Chain A
Amino acid sequence: MAEAIPLQLDPKAHLVEPPIVDFVYLDPTRRAYVVTFVPEDRVSGAETEVVVVPENSSDGRRIALQLGWLASLWNQVAPIERIVHSGGGDFEFQFKGAPSRSLSDLCPSPEATHDAYRFLQDIAMTAEVAFIQVQRAQQPVA
C-alpha cells in the first residue's frame, strides 16, 4: 500500500500556479463577489487583476459553493468573509464572527489542504474566465 506524502505547506514552495486567488469577498453593497486574482501570463502581464461577479449569476453561485466547501474544511458554521493570498502556497481565511485561519498554520489534514487548493483554484479560474469575457466585451467590434 502506498504511503501518503504530507503536502509541503512552506509558503516558499511552488504549490500554486496562476490563476491564484489574491483577495476575495462578497460585497453586500454591490451584491457581488469581488475577486482579485493573480492572472496567468497569457491572460495579463499584471501582477493582479480584479473582476466583479454578480452574486446571483451562475459564476457567483459557483463561487458561493466553493466558499461553502472551503468553510466546511474547518467545520465552520460561520461563512468565509475574505480570503487573502499570503504569497506562495499560503492563504488567510477570515470568517464572519470567528477567528481567522491560515492555511499553513491550521489546515486540519493533508487531504483537506488538497481540497482547499482545488476549491481555491476553481474560484481563481472562474474569476479569470469572467475577466476574459469582460475584456472581450469591451473590445471594439471590427
Chain B
Amino acid sequence: MAADGPYSRRDGETIRLLPSGLEIVRRKKHEPIDQSGLSREEWARQTDKRNGSKFSEAWNLERLVDFIAVRVTGLGWRKGIAQEVTIPTHENVGWVKAKPVRAIKIVSDGRYVHAYPVEG
C-alpha cells in the first residue's frame, strides 16, 4: 500500500477532493471487519447504527472512493447543499444488523461526502 494511499488517512480525513469542491472522507466505522468467530447477535451489534453498517471486503477504499466520485459528479452535486442518494446494486455490498444488503447510500453534508451500505 502506498504511503499516500487512502488507508494512510485517519478517520474522517479527506481522501479525494472533487472538482466541485466536495471532499470524500474516510469513515472507518463502515469499513469491512472480520466477522469470523462472532455470534450472529454480536455480528448484528457490530453492524447496527451505533457501530455503523459495514461494507464487504470486495468494497475496499479505492473502489468505494471511485464509486462515490463517479456518482456524485454524475449527479452534479455541489458544495453548500446537503444531499443524499441510495443506489441499488446487483451484489451484496455489506451488512446492516447482520443482514446482507444490496444498496449504497451516499451522503453529502454540503462539504464532506461518504457512503455506507443500506437496505435497498
Which stretch, B47-55, B57-65, B68-76, touches the partner chain A? Answer: B47-55
Which chain A residues numbered 87 to 109 have a C-beta less than 8 Å away from chain B? 87-88, 92, 94, 100, 102
Query: Which A-chain residue is minimally distant from B53 (CB atoms)?
Result: A47
Which residues of chain A are near B29, meaning CB under 8 Å? 85-87
Query: Which A-chain residue is minimally distant from B42 (CB atoms)?
Result: A12
B109 touches A34 (CB 8 A): yes
Query: Which A-chain residue is minimally distant from B118 (CB atoms)?
Result: A47
Q: Which residues of A contact B (CB under 8 A)?
A: 11-12, 14, 16-18, 20, 23, 25, 27, 29-30, 34, 36, 38, 47-48, 50, 52, 82-88, 92, 94, 100, 102
> What's the least CB distance linking B16 to chain A, in Å?
17
| 8 Å CB contact of A100 from B10, B52, B105, B109 | B10
Q: Complex: how many Å from CA A11 to CA B29?
A: 10
Q: A50-B107, A52-B82 are in contact. Are A38 and B12 (CB under 8 A)?
A: no
Q: Complex: how many Å from CA A29 to CA B79?
A: 10
A38 touches B82 (CB 8 A): no
Which chain B residues numbered 73 to 120 have a C-beta less than 8 Å away from chain A? 79-80, 82, 105, 107, 109-112, 116, 118
Which are the 3 A-B pairs with shortest beta-carbon distances?
Answer: A84-B12, A87-B29, A92-B11
A47 touches B110 (CB 8 A): no
| 8 Å CB contact of A50 from B12, B53, B79, B109 | B109
Q: Complex: how many Å from CA A34 to CA B116?
A: 19
B11 touches A86 (CB 8 A): yes
B80 touches A29 (CB 8 A): yes
A27 touches B111 (CB 8 A): yes
A88 touches B51 (CB 8 A): yes
Q: Complex: how many Å from CA A17 to CA B20?
A: 35
Which residues of chain B are near A88, meaning CB under 8 Å? 50-51
A16 touches B10 (CB 8 A): no
Query: Which A-chain residue is minimally distant from B110 (CB atoms)?
Result: A34
Query: Which A-chain residue is minimally distant from B107 (CB atoms)?
Result: A48
| 8 Å CB contact of B52 from A50, A87, A94, A102 | A87
Which residues of chain A are near B13, meaning CB under 8 Å? 94, 100
Q: Complex: how many Å from CA A82 to CA B50?
A: 19
